[in-house]
Amino acid sequence: MRIGPDTLKEINILKHYRTIRKWACKSNDLTDSDIELLIYLECEGRFTKNDYEKGVFSYSWDKRRWDKLLKNGWIVVWRKRNHTTQKYHVYEVSLRTKQLTNKIYKIMLGHEDLPTSGYNKIMLGKTYSDKVLSKSIIYVNNDKNR
C-alpha cells in the first residue's frame, strides 16, 4: 500500500519531527545522524557492512560511528562469517533500536506522548537547550492535531 503526499500532510507526520528527534538523541546519547541512520538500517532489515557504508553517504562523516553503534548495542551480529561459505558478517538492528524507532513512530502519529517525568533528563532543565526543548516537548504533548 502506498501512501500519497496528501495523506502524510493531513496527518502532520513531520510537524514535530525535530523535537521528537532531539528528545531521542538526548535521552539515548546519540547524534541526529545516528538516529536517522538507525531508522534507515531498520528499514533495510539484515545488512552487511557494505550496506551500512552505502547508507552513510548522506550523513556527516564519523569514522567511529560503526564501532560506537556496535559496541553500545544498537547494531548486533545476526550471522558471523566462517571464512569459507560466509565471507562476511550479516548484521541487524537490535531490539533496543527497534523499540526506540517504534516509540518515535508512535509519538509522531500521536499514539504516545513524549515522556515528561523526572526520569527524562531533559525535563530537569540543566542547560538552556534543555529548557527550550522541555517547553517544546510540553507543546508537542499538548498538540492534539498530530
Whole-prediction pTM value? 0.85
Q: Judge whether 66 and 59 are in contact, CB under 8 Å.
A: no
**80-121, pLDDT tens digit by residue?**
877 666 677 899 999 999 999 999 999 999 999 999 887 788
Name the one residue in this structure whose C-alpha cell is 496528501.
6
How far is residue 28's CA from residue 94's CA, in Å, rounded to a whole number?
14
Strand 90-93 vs strand 75-79: parallel, antiparallel, or unpaired? antiparallel
**36-71, pLDDT tens digit by residue?**
999 999 999 999 988 888 888 888 778 899 999 999
Q: Judge whether 79 and 90 are in contact, CB under 8 Å.
A: yes
**If pLDDT is split at 50, 70 and 90, which confidence band does 73 have?**
very high
pLDDT in the model for residue 88: 78
Q: Judge whether 102 and 94 are in contact, CB under 8 Å.
A: no
> Domains in the chain, please, with CATH?
14-21+29-112 (1.10.10.10)
